[in-house]
Structure 1
Amino acid sequence: MNIVGPNDAQCVVDRLQIRRDNYPNFHIEYKLDDKVLNAIFWANETAKENYSKFSDVIATDATYRTNRYNMIFVPFTSINNHDKTITVGAGFLSDETIESYTWLLRAFLKAHEKIHSMILSDMDPTLYKKKIIILQVVFNEGDMTIHYSCKHFQFYGILYCHCFRVLLDNDIFKIPEIYILDRWRKNIVDVSYQKLLHRWGEGNTETSNLLHEASSYYEKCVDSVAHDLGKLQELIQSLKTLSIECENNVVTKPNTNPTKEIVENVVGLHIPNEIDIEAPSRTL
């Protein structure tokens, strides 16, 4: 039985709006065409955090149509400090017109509230053949800065090899903090944004918030004893004891809910009988 039926577009928008109401940093935009959902864009807290740190170059690929309404899925992605693909936003479009993409890009910029320069360069190796490059390097010991003619750090965010030679010649064996950009740091993204439970979809919002809070306390405990073997063993033993207590004390209630109530509990909202937003018609 199709419980959601023609209400699925309404349910999607309602679910995202509930998320926005409970998490102010969550962003959603959608567009209707005579009550029919024509386009939608969203960026959750993790996506916005990713964009704030790794927005040097943004890639998008509008080739996915594997959904019942044949809408175009448009993910916005980037690369993080571990050279892994990360998501900074996503949307669905009913068509690939200039107007639709204009709307989507405006929604993307509105969500992130800032624009970064994106530089794409095809570095042809032949440009460097048979050339002699004279590098001028000036080291300021006072503020630990290096001024050099190749501008490698300004372009790529990484010191060039001759800079390390200059540092070693001045008995400096640690890279100055000014040259360690945030994007290369292990802890650039707050640990709470990296946790599975922080991703939406755990049912009702109250349960989701409590799950996230419980996960955060667990992570804090682990982080605080990570470098103390004895304390770490004590924490593991405490968690084992707590796990046994939870299993013994929690009573599992029999599942007597009708199918509709089960679906509503999974998606975290009431499936409306009357709708204001209709799903697009199916197309091949």
Structure 2
Amino acid sequence: MEDEFKLEIGREFESLDEAWNFWNEYGSKIGFGVRKYNGTKSKKDGSIITYRYVCCKEGIRKKDRRETTTSRYRPEIRTNCKARMVVSRIDEKFKITKFNEEHNHPLHTQETVHLLPSQRNLSEVQAHEVDLAEESGLEPKEAFDLMSTYAGGQENLGYTMIDARNYLMKKRRKHIKFGEVGCLLEYFQKRIVENPSFYHKYQLDMEQQVTNVFWADARMLKDYAHFGEVVSLDTTYSTNRDHQPLALFSGFNHHRSVVIFGAALLYDETIESFKWLLETFLDAHTQNKPQTVFTDQDQAMARALSEILPNTRHCLCTWHLLQNGIKHLGNLMKEGSHFLTDFKKCMFDYVQVDKFEEAWSKLLSSYNVHENGWLNSTYNIKEKWARCYMKDAFTLGMRSTQVSESVNAEVKRCTKPKLDINRFFKRFDKVVEKKRFKELQLEYES
């Protein structure tokens, strides 16, 4: 062992921190974990005059007197090891006055010493890197593998994946100490300070608990003023631990790129919730009503639209319609079947009504689905999705699946049901930033 880490009586340290760092480094060289034990204070001024540093296996765990039915007990790691170092304050410095180098247990090899708790430390810089990785949507394991690669291996990183997880968990508990409602209001307050035009509104239930929440930043308000004639309203995402639906209002800009006009977390998908959502959306956008709204086949949403926006054309998003078709009629789309192709033709190919009706009758006969409930209910609202019935609708070409496919992919990639409200907003803001950066790219290319 090098002389710089040799225990000897009289060795001096400028402070207790220096003495601790020496003991920790000494333990690393030898192969054992270290702990701070206790100190003795001066009766005159209360300053520490003696301090003891011990092996991590010092002492014996006290017997747990509680009655417990725990099936998994912590392993016993204490061996009453007597290895220690005692420093005392002499002439304004701390000197080693006693030490014991003998251990009563096997020592760790140099290949595993980096796993000792006393050798693991998540520095401020590393904690910031973990935060950035988490905000970017990386899973803890992916982030840890990335950091390990940068450091040249896990043994050089200085912390383990468990340490990173514990750090994130502690940080999340701190952020939600006032509950999810507190986090929600804190987020909105921060956004208002950044931009006074930020709009938000929430609805309370009988117990004064937040149920539905809507928000739109200044850029969303501006985009809607320019491009809000045709809107897609999607509520197919379940984004947080309470499985609340996320409602997104989106559309096309002048580059035919997707822009977001507003978002909401809903308590449920009832008629009353959708009516509140639509009324709040109009309030945010100064009662500027869209000409056309595309949605999925949700009946509660359709009822709310007919009451709140009676003069707005209601159409069905073809992407959602096809997804529902695959869900309800997957047995007809097995290998070799042309059902999906024929169904798409009914949606997109026929300009004349009689041609559409003929193709629809042929579809039902060819696949013997005259009694299928989903097909019959879909046919009853054909004016919302069939091309021949939508010739007079103002759509800006939004019948294509570009809006829903694009937004669905981004939101599902960046948000997951296990997220708490604080992490959800960070991830959602990233989705919005990506959309706006895409617009900058298109602006540059044009």
TM range (shorter): 0.3 to 0.5
Give the TM-score, by structure 2 length: 0.28
When Rg is computed on C-alpha atoms for both structures, the one with the higher figure is 2
Greater length-normalized contact order (CA 8 Å, ≥ 6 residues apart): 1
